[in-house]
Every structure is written in C-alpha cells, then in structure tokens.
Amino acid sequence: MFKHYFEQIQNIEIWPIISLIIFFVFFTITLVRIFFLDKGYLEKMSGLPLEDEGDESITNLKN
C-alpha cells in the first residue's frame, strides 16, 4: 500500500541519507562533548543526589 505512495514522491531516495547524516552528526557531537567534559564538573554533579542540603531546606520550610 505505501509503496504506491512512495513511488509518487520525487527525490525520496535522499531522505534516508539525510537521516543517517543527521544521526551520525548528533552522535559524534554527543561523544565529543562527553569526552571533553570537565572532570570536576562530573564529580560535583555525581555527588548532588547524595548531599543533605535538600533535607535541610525541607526542615527550614516546616519551621
């Protein structure tokens, strides 16, 4: 059924190539960005869920 519709679209063969290029560029940029992240920033962000500051702010709101 869809084959008939796709045959009517001109230049449809370019869209898979464009999709692959967009995916490859996005994936490459993501990998490069992760590779060059500041290690201090990563350590700070990884410790945030374990800090007790959130508990103190909740107790301050109750008073």
pLDDT grade, residue 26 (50/70/90)?
Answer: very high
Residue 18: per-residue pLDDT: 94
Q: Write out the residue range of the structural domain in which residue 40 sits.
A: 2-47
* Domain count along the chain: 1
Task: Evaluate whether residue 29 is within a structural domain.
Answer: yes
d(CA 26, CA 8) in angstroms, rounded, equals 30
pLDDT at 30 over 80: yes
Task: Evaluate whether residue 58 is within a structural domain.
Answer: no
Residues in CB range of 61: below 8 A, 6 or more apart: none
Task: Evaluate whether residue 43 is within a structural domain.
Answer: yes
Sign of the torsion angle spanned by Cα atoms 44, 48, 53, 54: positive
d(CA 29, CA 51) in angstroms, rounded, equals 31
Task: Evaluate whether residue 38 is within a structural domain.
Answer: yes
Task: Evaluate whether residue 16 is within a structural domain.
Answer: yes
Residue 13: per-residue pLDDT: 83
